[in-house]
Amino acid sequence: MRRLLPLSTLVLPALLLSACSTPETLTRDGLIKAGIPKPIAGCMARRMVDRLSLLQLRRLSALGKAKQSRDIEQFLRSIRSLNDPEIVRVTTSSAGLCAVGLAD
């Protein structure tokens, strides 16, 4: 008879891995949840974590949880509501460069 593993041996590793999420991963996932296509979100996240503080990234994260955008333009409009010119500048430039393939 096969012996089943306790649930804790399956869940604990998953929890430990999720605790190791990097700011880039969290930012990318937040952008995807906000409606940004995966390739563009990944590119944007790489740029944004190098240019924004953790506090600014958290403010963006809270905005992404509020609602999903229909497109990048709508997402950028909602970013402006944060009243942080640096977030707007970095997010807008990242979105533009990543969308046309000019970002690193």
8 lies in a domain? no
Helices (H) and strands (E) in the chain, counts: 6, 0
Residue 9 lies in a domain: no
Residue 2 counted as domain residue: no
Q: What pLDDT shows up at residue 15?
A: 46
Domain contains 7: no
The pLDDT of residue 69: 67
- The stretch 32-42 carries a mean pLDDT of 89
pLDDT at 90: 96
Q: Percent of the chain having pLDDT more than 90?
A: 41
Q: Is the pLDDT score of 40 beyond 60?
A: yes
Largest CA distance in the chain: 64
Question: In terms of pLDDT, which residue wins out, 101 or 69?
Answer: 101
Cα-based distances in Å from 59 to 25, 55, 83, 91, 99: 16, 6, 11, 12, 23
Domain count, the chain: 1
Q: Which domain holds residue 86?
A: 22-100
Reported as a pLDDT band with limits 50, 70 and 90, residue 23 is: very high
Overall average pLDDT of the 58-81 stretch: 76
Supply the pLDDT for residue 92: 92
